[in-house]
Structure 1
């Protein structure tokens, strides 16, 4: 059976799909999946062994000049490439009008969530197979249910989340080995999109010093100039300069994933890379200061969530100093260390 999966973005959404792929692979021995995904995430689907071909799509670029000769040529070539393959089913796991625009151009029946289940109900009008999926559950379980019903197998709530990524042949990035050799290290994912999601720098500094004293080195990755300078400020307070590493260049997604994979533990704010660590089964503590992880948070067998009383409010700007202080309740350095101790035993 060959299925074309449409799940184009975002990073968290892409990683949420892997457990469903693992379910399907176990249930359907001859299953092969090809995947349409945004070009910026094209490395990721290949990490799962059931995925064969990856079709990187550039919808955002196409939208900037939809009627240009180049755009029309790229769109034509893109769909010709996909339609050169014969698919038993197209599975739209995105559930948006933009994803059904893609799905309808494929020469195969299309399945997706029904009107009451899908993110944009109008998309469901174009599915040949409509699947009912309960909304009030985590995105991972929604996708697992969609795959099971569309592909014809059973899953139960007792089945653990298995991402199933093929990392057996992964090795530490050479630049990491140059800095830390074989010494145990942790990764602090300090960068995120909203200012209100940040964990205070003084907390990161205290945590850095505490884990340094326990013999752990720390990697402080970054994704833009603001995060780079923050990482440098935090690193300046390490017990010894050799105990912390701020990469000189932004790590590629592959190198970032490998750095996470071989770490002893990860501490993260609510950010896309937390989903990467979850999928790699790394012991991780995720801090949810102003966002609720119930439906889309990082999840997995080694993930611990610390959630503030303000998390369900999705605060982008604090209404008062009191609310700002409340958003850190349960997210102190000692709270993080206690959470890490469950996995590491001696932090």
Structure 2
């Protein structure tokens, strides 16, 4: 059976899909899945053995210049390539107007969430087959249930999350300065200023980790994050803390996380990568709620502040202080001791 999956972004959404693919592969060993995904994440789907072909889409760029001739040529060529293949199932696992825009340009009936289940309900009007999945569940379970209904197999009750990625040959990155020592990865970069963990907290944690015999890696994804990494490392030895000279590729970052002794992260896309790689992971949720879309997996732990459910982008009053309750350095150190 050949399936076309539409699940374009974000990084968390992409990783939330892997357990559903693992379920499908277990139930249907001969299944082949082609995946439409944003070009930014095009490396990721092939990590799963069920995925055959990846169609990297540049929808974010196209929307900026949809009426320009060159953009229209790119769009036409993209869908002409997809439509060379006949699919047994076209599954829109995103449930958004933008994913419907993609699906309607592909030959064949589209399946997806029903009116009460889709993130943007009216998107369901364009599906030929629709499935009900309760919205109050974590995104991983929602996708597992959607796949099971669309492909016609029973989802085993109580079955744990299994990402099923092909990581057996992912060795420690060659750039890593240590050949065998255990190391901690600290993911401090994120999108909202209110989701940051204070630099002083990171610094205290780094000193504790180094004193306990761990090496520490401080990766970065932009100039601001690089400067923060260098500040955190400033008073620590090069032999104990490594800040990469260049930004690591996604594949390099995945190998770095896979081979770590532990990972401590704020709420960021890379936390979902670590969750899928069976590495001990602690995620700090300061102003975002992990219950529906947080990083999840067999080795994932969470520290959640009292304000996590409020999605605060700008602090006022006493919110900044309250947002750090339950996610202090002692709580993180305790978790590290138990790993």
Bucket of the pairwise TM-score, normalised by the shorter protein: over 0.9
Match of 2:225 in 1: 227
State the 1:61 CA deviation: 1.4
Which piece of structure 1 moves more, 76-85 or 64-73?
64-73
SS of the equivalent of 2:155 reads: coil
Task: State whether structure 2 residue 62 is matched by structure 1 residue 65.
Answer: no
2:335 equivalent to 1:339: yes
2:295 maps to 298
How far apart are the structure 2 equivalents of 1:74 and 1:149? 34
TM-score of the pair, normalised by structure 1: 0.96
Q: Is the 8 A contact 1:266 1:277 kept in 2?
A: yes
Does residue 325 of the first structure (1) align with residue 327 of the second (2)? no
Identify the range of structure 1 (113-122 vs 151-160) with the bigger mean alpha-carbon deviation: 151-160
Distance 1:308 1:271 in 2: 16
Matched, 1:28 2:28: yes
Q: Find the residue that maps to 2:228 and give its secondary structure.
A: helix
Determine the C-alpha separation between the residues in 2 that align with 1:216 and 1:157: 39
| CA distance in structure 1 between the partners assigned to 2:185 and 2:85 by the alignment | 41
RMSD of aligned residue pairs (Cα, Å): 0.9
Q: In the alignment, which residue of structure 1 is the partner of 2:86? A: 86
Following superposition, the deviation at residue 237 of structure 1 comes to: 2.8
Please give the alpha-carbon distance, in whole angstroms, between the structure 2 residues aligned to 1:241 and 1:78.
47
Q: Secondary structure at the match of 2:290?
A: coil
Q: Secondary structure at the match of 1:294?
A: helix
Contact 1:205 1:237 in 2 (8 A): no
Q: Tell whether 2:338 aligns with 1:308.
A: no
Q: How does 1:46-195 map to 2 (within 5 A)?
A: 46-176=46-176, 179-195=177-193
The match for 2:14 is 14
Question: What residue number does 2:203 align with?
Answer: 205
Displacement of 1:342 after TM fit? Answer: 2.8
Distance across 2 between alignment mates of 1:68 and 1:308: 47
Higher mean alpha-carbon deviation, 19-28 vs 98-107, is at 98-107
Does the CA-based 8 Å contact 1:6-1:35 persist in structure 2?
yes
SS in 2 for 1:241: coil
Give 1:157 shift: 4.1
Query: 2:212: which partner in 1?
Result: 214
**Can you list the C-alpha shifts for 1:12-54, whole angstroms capped at 9, x where unaligned?**
0000000000001101121110000000000000000000000
CA distance in 2, matches of 1:47, 1:341: 31
Q: Which residue of 262, 268, 273 maps to 1:271? A: 268
What residue ranges of structure 1 are gaps of 5+ in the alignment? none
CA deviation profile, 1:288-313 (whole Å, cap 9, x unmatched) = 01111000000000000000111111
Question: In structure 2, what is the equivalent of residue 4 of structure 1?
Answer: 4
Indicate conservation of the 8 Å contact 1:289/1:308, yes or no: yes
Separation in 1 of the partners of 2:314 and 2:105? 42
Asked if the contact 1:47/1:166 (under 8 Å) is kept, the reply is yes
Q: Distance in 2 between matches of 1:233 and 1:59?
A: 37
Residue 284 of structure 1 contacts residue 340 of structure 1 at CA under 8 Å; is this kept in 2?
Answer: no
1:241 is matched with: 238
Shift of 1:105: 1.5
Q: Helix, strand or coil for the counterpart of 1:130?
A: strand
Unaligned stretches of 5+ in structure 2? none
Q: Secondary structure at the match of 1:295?
A: helix
The count of aligned residue pairs is 339
